[in-house]
Amino acid sequence: MRKSGILNQRILSATGSLGHTDGIVVCDAGLPIPLGVERIDLAVVRGVPRFLEVLEPLMAEIVVEKIILAEEMVTASPELYASIRKLAGSIAIEQVSHEELKRLTHSAKAIVRTGEFTPYANVILQSGVDFS
């Protein structure tokens, strides 16, 4: 048994398979998940688990070189956007249209679905490398 960090075996498998520039998505309960992309469905009921409760430990587990999110989040869910900005620190954040974000999910290694019901609570974490 792991002593700390993520315990979910499917998330660990997905993060372990990431290479440079690969993406993993953390999404709300409503984002359409393309056929052929691994779905890791954590949603239990409305609001459980919360988006940030999944995003934060996932970001601690992998090297993230860029976060991609929908530009609509900035105005529709400003508190969530502020939380992501804070969590990101010096990590670059790229804003795209929600339609473009949905298109980009087709090439993700996996999509982790939460029980979140906040509008536009969807991000793609682009994997980086740690050559330190």
CA-CA distance, 15 to 64, in Å (whole number)?
A: 11
Strands 123-127 and 38-41: unpaired
Domain 9-127 class, CATH top level: alpha beta
Q: Cite the active site residues.
A: 20
Q: Which of 106, 107, 123, 109 is nearest to 38 (CA)?
A: 109
Q: Are 37 and 126 in contact (CB under 8 A)?
A: no
pTM: 0.96
Residue-wise pLDDT tens digits, 32-82? 999 999 999 999 999 999 999 999 999 999 999 999 999 999 999 999 999
Question: Domain segments of the chain: what residues?
Answer: 9-127
Contacts of 106 (CB under 8 A, 6+ apart): 34, 36, 37
